[in-house]
Amino acid sequence: MHLPTPLIHGTLIKRYKRFLADVELDSGEVITAHCANPGGMIGLKEPGIDVWLSQSDNPKRKLKYSWELCQIGDAWIGINTSHPNAIVEEAILNGLVPELSGYETLKREVKYGKNSRIDILLSDPDRGLCYVEVKNVHLKRDEDVPGLAEFPDAVTARGAKHLDEMTDMVAEGHRAVMFYLIQRTDCDRFTLSTDIDPHYGDRFKAARENGVEAIAYDCAISTNDVSVYKPLPIVDL
């Protein structure tokens, strides 16, 4: 998925009120950017980190800058949680996700379950329906296991609800797949952060035991593009 170009470099001053970030641009100007990320952003909101912003020319927008990427050491991280569905859709349509290939149609944001919308619905006359729920992953703590991506980075009652609804879809005879998109370039494995949200971990285990599939892919990231790169193993710790 192509990012708005050119991105603008700056230095993070602070992220606050979940959706706001003050950034000092290279010009010295201090601006407030929209942070499209409701999560905890553990390790990604430290003052002084390098960030990249997109700029909108829409006069109706209250904040014309949006925080897209940050860089920590050699690692690139995508923090904009409005992008993963489009990134995964593009990858499926381009045949980059073998687990989700062979379906005739792909639709986004289809109503299902209890007042929810599935991120991606695949359908085929012969194979039936496949519900795909996309989760953005950018947590990496490196406390005991270097290179380990984790989800979630905050308690997510909504995420647990999605797991239960995906389980219901399997019970109705459909296929259901959790797609964990790791918007980082420095991970080689994925697991659940059950210490952060034990309930999500319990619902994930129950969902898999009842037929919900789970796959994890990392991303290739640059200031021009974020795209699905390769599958990562899901491990239990």
pLDDT tens digits, one per residue of 94-150:
999 999 999 999 999 999 987 889 999 999 999 999 999 999 999 999 767 789 999
Specify the pLDDT at position 134. Answer: 97
Give me the CATH number covering residue 204.
Answer: 3.40.1350.60
Question: Does 71 lie in the same domain as 37?
Answer: yes
Q: Which of 78, 110, 139 finishes a domain?
A: 78
User: In terms of domains, do 60 and 111 share one?
Assistant: no
CATH number, domain at 52?
A: 2.40.50.580
Is it the case that residue 237 has pLDDT exceeding 70?
no
| 210 and 112 housed in the same domain | yes
pLDDT for position 217: 98
- Among residues 46, 78, 110, which one ends one of the domains? 78
How far are the Cα atoms of 22, 30, 55, 218, 227 from residue 87, in angstroms, in the given order?
Answer: 27, 30, 20, 11, 6
**Predicted confidence (pLDDT) at residue 219 exceeds the cutoff of 70:** yes
Domain that holds residue 116: 84-232
Domains contained in the chain, number? 2
For strands 75-78 and 30-34, give the pairing: unpaired
Distance CA 23, CA 6 (A): 17
Asked which of 29, 60, 78 is the last residue of a domain, the reply is 78
Q: Which residues pair with 69 in a beta bridge?
A: 52, 78
Query: Do 74 and 162 have their domain in common?
Result: no
Please check whether residues 47 and 149 belong to one and the same domain: no
Alpha helices in 122-233 (DSSP H): 157-171, 198-209
Bridge-based pairing of strands 8-16 and 50-55 is: antiparallel
Q: Average the pLDDT over 191-215 and give the result.
A: 97
pLDDT in tens, 151-188: 999 999 999 999 999 999 999 999 999 999 999 999 99
195 shares a domain with 220 = yes
In a domain, 68, yes or no: yes
Residue 42 shares a structural domain with residue 125: no
Do residues 64 and 105 share a domain?
A: no
Query: pTM (2 decimals)?
Result: 0.94
